[in-house]
Chains A and B, each alone.
Chain A
């Protein structure tokens, strides 16, 4: 069982567009991957419903886990994704709120 722990970089947390991009990437790896919050039960990381219902805010740490020969490659790729701001609006940093 391979595991990685990473803090979610998206400013809105793992909701909406970031959750969609992440679960699509999980499905694309072809490897069954689980995601868990600290102290929480692991759930199917390719399910947008499960991932969204974890309600993971910006900066929270999550643990990804997978089995099998491709597990390390898949997890490295996914960790890289979570560590970038998936909700960064194109070419603007001037949010007013």
Chain B
């Protein structure tokens, strides 16, 4: 333990990797991990080990309480979260689980050991069955953790019920945890693990929440203590003084002013760069469509497919796409076809036995094993286009070769979609961007995946975040090559990775020749502001400086040195 962890003094600072640029002050709400107690931990009554009958009663009550609480939570939830919670509640209420644990308790086994043994038995059976069941082991273990905590009178593990705006702190947040958060009361998210492109960070970005990941000592912060979370410099200040609070308030005021600028994206000298939003659902389109956004640069359609056992029908999809198109009116909407596989598995499409899923049958490659998925999706988009009179753009993820681009374009055009593009996420596609662009109308760079494949760095490995950095000159070289091909052929080259939402990177991308930037809606005001205060020539100088640098931190520093002082001040760079 260091001074920066347990009982960190007022003003003590914890460091991590920031996601976003906002800062807030609020009380800590810890997401409790599983209780770590020895298997023979005794149940104490009035300080003395409990009688066997008391242990029996305590365990039985704990099971009933946990099942009831989960059921209440499920009833209050919707969609996937509801299903997950309901299934977990049924496990907690399971007859065989309870009676076997109680039989061991009655035989004199300590309650934790009894629970561990029975849960372990079921977990092994599930793991042997594999597939869908292996994934349910997490739910089973969460039942174990809740029952152990309840039996021994420890705080409930998992996401706390938030009663006031709070800074949610966790070792790491599982997707189900994130889904269970009462977002109206979340000010910021701080985690001890995870990387800046991981699940938590992306969700936080989508919601416009400041987030700091990889903060050592975060889970030792006391519940309820105020912290100042600054996503732009990746710090968490414990019990901040008046000066820090005042600085946060000033930044909030500056944010409010930034958000008032609403015009189309352009540099100071009028070079237009379309500023677009990334969305995952038709409901997102309705939310961002009400704001000053120029369109949707990335509609991630896989959300419609996730957590289902069979693919959604053509009509079901057409309705969702039509809803998004209607929400955006005559503004541009770029729909990306299904990007499943690797970290986004689908029950009906994913190859279960891939050794390297990130290098496997994912993204557009699913067309090899399951062409009907793509065909149905394109037909649904064609139907949505006919129903709304809009003209959506469509693009395929994970294209590696011009032949794949040609194949996709042929299918999309056959379905009646006029404007067809592909994602450039693989170095091979960036190096051959000219040949790929010859087959399609536009390309869009997915910078997270491009960095992952260029740097041979798993996006999910937080400890390699420095390699995964989009500022790596090698990654910038590939972006530059793609943008150059677009300029030569007179076709649009967009960026729809998280990097487009980094205002400084947005200037560099503009300087490299990128024609549109699509990002989390929360990032738009800062990018719009930064663009408006730099000329195209300045952006090009920054791009040249970044390309000439010898490392990622140097590239960022060299670009930053050329930024307008006023913008640096306003955006807290």
What residues of chain A have their CB less than 8 Å away from a CB belonging to chain B? 11-12, 15-16, 20, 23, 27, 43-44, 46-50, 52-55, 87, 89, 92, 94-97
CA distance A42 to B447 in the complex (A): 53
Are A55 and B129 CB-contacts (below 8 A) given A49-B122, A95-B311, A95-B313? yes
By the criterion CB–CB under 8 Å, are B309 and A16 in contact?
A: yes
Could you show 25 A-B contacts with beta carbons less than 8 Å apart?
A11-B310, A15-B133, A20-B87, A43-B96, A44-B95, A46-B95, A46-B96, A47-B96, A48-B94, A50-B96, A52-B126, A52-B129, A52-B133, A53-B126, A53-B133, A55-B129, A55-B133, A92-B313, A94-B314, A96-B311, A96-B313, A96-B314, A96-B372, A96-B376, A97-B310
By the criterion CB–CB under 8 Å, are B373 and A96 in contact?
A: yes
Are A16 and B132 CB-contacts (below 8 A) given A27-B95, A46-B95? yes
Q: A15-B133, A16-B132, A94-B315 are in contact. List 7 more A-B contacts (CB 8 A).
A: A44-B96, A49-B91, A50-B96, A87-B309, A94-B314, A96-B375, A97-B348
The one of A47, A55, A92 that contacts B97, using a Cβ cutoff of 8 Å: A47
Any A CB within 8 A of the CB of B279: no
CA distance A55 to B127 in the complex (A): 11
Q: How far is the CB of A24 from chain B (nearest CB, A)?
A: 8
Q: How far is the CB of B91 from chain A (nearest CB, A)?
A: 6
Residues of A within 8 A of B95 (CB): 27, 44, 46-47
Are A15 and B132 CB-contacts (below 8 A) given A20-B87, A27-B95? yes
Give 3 closest A-B pairs by Cβ, nearest first. A47-B96, A53-B125, A55-B129
Residue of A nearest to B347 (CB): A12
CA distance A54 to B133 in the complex (A): 10
What residues of chain B have their CB less than 8 Å away from a CB belonging to chain A? 86-87, 90-91, 94-97, 122, 125-126, 129-130, 132-133, 136, 140, 309-311, 313-316, 348-349, 370, 372-373, 375-376
CA distance A49 to B142 in the complex (A): 14
Q: How far is the CB of B555 from chain A (nearest CB, A)?
A: 44
Residues of A within 8 A of B311 (CB): 95-97
Interface centre among B133, B309, B373 (most CB of A within 10 A): B309
Interface centre among A23, A43, A48 (most CB of B within 10 A): A48
The one of A11, A15, A49, A96 that contacts B94, using a Cβ cutoff of 8 Å: A49
Q: How far is the CB of B90 from chain A (nearest CB, A)?
A: 5
By the criterion CB–CB under 8 Å, are B310 and A49 in contact?
A: no
Residue of A nearest to B118 (CB): A49
CA distance A54 to B348 in the complex (A): 21
By the criterion CB–CB under 8 Å, are A12 and B129 in contact?
A: no
The one of A20, A27, A53 that contacts B122, using a Cβ cutoff of 8 Å: A53
Residues of B within 8 A of A97 (CB): 310-311, 348-349, 370, 372-373
Residue of A nearest to B380 (CB): A96
CA distance A48 to B89 in the complex (A): 11
By the criterion CB–CB under 8 Å, are B91 and A48 in contact?
A: yes
Residue of A nearest to B349 (CB): A97
CA distance A95 to B313 in the complex (A): 6
CA distance A87 to B347 in the complex (A): 15
Q: How far is the CB of B512 from chain A (nearest CB, A)?
A: 39
Residues of B within 8 A of A48 (CB): 90-91, 94
Residues of A within 8 A of B375 (CB): 96
Q: How far is the CB of B381 from chain A (nearest CB, A)?
A: 14
Residues of A within 8 A of B87 (CB): 16, 20
Interface centre among B96, B122, B133, B348 (most CB of A within 10 A): B96
Residues of B within 8 A of A50 (CB): 96
CA distance A97 to B86 in the complex (A): 27
Residues of B within 8 A of A11 (CB): 310
Q: How far is the CB of B289 from chain A (nearest CB, A)?
A: 28
Q: How far is the CB of A51 from chain B (nearest CB, A)?
A: 9
The one of A27, A47, A53 that contacts B129, using a Cβ cutoff of 8 Å: A53
Residues of A within 8 A of B91 (CB): 48-49
Residues of A within 8 A of B122 (CB): 49, 53
Interface centre among A54, A87, A96 (most CB of B within 10 A): A96
By the criterion CB–CB under 8 Å, are B136 and A52 in contact?
A: yes
Residue of B nearest to A50 (CB): B96
CA distance A12 to B308 in the complex (A): 11
Residue of B nearest to A24 (CB): B90
Residue of B nearest to A89 (CB): B310
Residues of A within 8 A of B373 (CB): 96-97
Residues of A within 8 A of B140 (CB): 49
Q: How far is the CB of B115 from chain A (nearest CB, A)?
A: 13
Residues of B within 8 A of A49 (CB): 91, 94, 96-97, 122, 140
Residues of A within 8 A of B126 (CB): 52-53
By the criterion CB–CB under 8 Å, are A20 and B90 in contact?
A: yes
Residue of B nearest to A13 (CB): B132
CA distance A44 to B125 in the complex (A): 15
CA distance A52 to B136 in the complex (A): 10
CA distance A43 to B96 in the complex (A): 9
Q: How far is the CB of A12 from chain B (nearest CB, A)?
A: 5
CA distance A31 to B359 in the complex (A): 51
Residues of A within 8 A of B96 (CB): 43-44, 46-47, 49-50
CA distance A69 to B316 in the complex (A): 48
Q: How far is the CB of B126 from chain A (nearest CB, A)?
A: 6
Residues of A within 8 A of B130 (CB): 55
CA distance A49 to B119 in the complex (A): 10
CA distance A18 to B84 in the complex (A): 15
CA distance A46 to B136 in the complex (A): 18
By the criterion CB–CB under 8 Å, are B133 and A94 in contact?
A: no
CA distance A82 to B349 in the complex (A): 26
